[in-house]
Amino acid sequence: MKPLNLLALLVFLGGLTWALTRSERSVREIQATYYRAISPFLTVGSALETRAREFLDEVEHSKMLEAEVEAMREDFGRLKLIESQFRKVEAENATLRRALDFQERTRFEVVAARVTRRQPATWWQTVEIDRGEDSGIATAYTVVTDQGLVGKIDRLGDHRSTVLLLTDEACQVSAKVEGSPEVGIVQGQREQFGGAPRLRLRFLSRDARLREGMRVFSTGRGGLFPADLLLGEIDRVEPGPLASEAIVRPSVDFQNLGTVFVLTPQKEES
């Protein structure tokens, strides 16, 4: 081997070792820097893409009408979500007042975001949205639609972020089945293609009595996702020797995600 090649190989191995030993925090910083660097290009690209799409849309629809419908759709989804959260908070408030004379001082805030890119990676089930750190979003924040849980924020940029979808194997949610004492962990499956992804509800009891159509909600345990977010419906149950598993049909239509909402943490009123 030539001395120059040997030297290059040693330098490369040193660089590889450096990269492989980066801490999680360093990796996040690298990713944030990367997103910041490519952000101007993406913004210009998105603007061009949007302009082209608007031009094509104008052939069939009025631009103004399109914008109005989009805004109304966003508002409708947001209001529906706020209403459901409001009802939950109201019920919780009443219960706590009755039991402990405790006044609930928390509320949800939501940030509406548009899905700008679907499936940007080969093996991960992710989408990109047009809101980032500048909109008050942070890593691991919950993302929902009015249909239910979408996923959580994974990578974060100033003006955009990546959402790890519920259908990805790496996204796990502590879940409960409505009308049953069963609790478990819902997660996506590794090899899912096509328009009908399925989730797997693991760690159920061996003789879990579940029926098709029973709804699955988040429990709120584990510190990642709030309670009572709809995840899907039971499709079928697969009994096992030690524990049963259930296949869950997601409530969200992941193929047609347009507008999503990021739940920002509950703030205490001063």
Nearer to another protein, 168 or 233 (CB): 168
If the CB atoms of residues 213 and 223 are measured against another protein, the closer one turns out to be 223
Could you tell me the smallest distance in angstroms from the CB atom of residue 60 to another protein? 22
Between 31 and 259, name the residue whose CB sits nearer to another protein: 31
Helices 63-100 and 24-60 meet at what angle, rounded to 10? 130
Dihedral angle sign, alpha carbons of residues 51, 54, 56, 62? negative
Q: Tell me the closest approach of the beta carbon of residue 157 to another protein, in angstroms.
A: 11
The candidate with the shortest Cα–Cα distance to 162, out of 34, 26, 45, 74, is: 34
Q: With contact defined as beta carbons under 8 Å apart, do 187 and 171 qualify?
A: yes
- Name the residue nearer to another protein (CB basis): 125 or 251: 125
**Tokens coding 186:** 């819902």
Q: Of 92 and 169, which has the nearer Cβ to another protein? A: 169
Helix ranges restricted to H, 101-205: none
List contacts with another protein (CB under 8 A). 4-5, 7-9, 11-12, 15-16, 19-20, 22, 24, 27-28, 30-31, 33-34, 38, 41-42, 45, 49, 117-124, 126, 139-140, 154-155, 164, 169-172, 174, 185, 187, 190-191, 193, 221-224
Closest CB 71 distance from another protein, rounded Å: 26
- C-alpha–C-alpha distance, residues 65 and 49, integer Å: 19
| In the complex, least distance from residue 131 CB atom to another protein, rounded to whole angstroms | 17
- Output the smallest distance, CB 36 to another protein, in A: 11
Q: What is the 3-state secondary structure (H, E, C) of 242-254?
A: CCEEEEEEECCCH
Instruction: Count the alpha carbons within 13 Å of 188 in the hemisphere toward its beta carbon.
Output: 22
Cβ-based nearer residue to another protein, 172 or 180: 172
CB of 196 to another protein, least distance (A): 13
Pick the closer one to another protein by CB: 114 or 117: 117
Nearest approach, Cβ of 35 to another protein (angstroms)? 8
The count of C-alpha atoms lying within 13 angstroms of the C-alpha of 167, restricted to the half-sphere facing its C-beta, is: 21
β-sheet bridge partners, residue 143: 151, 262
**What residue has token string 């598993």?**
245
Beta bridge partners of 144: 149, 261
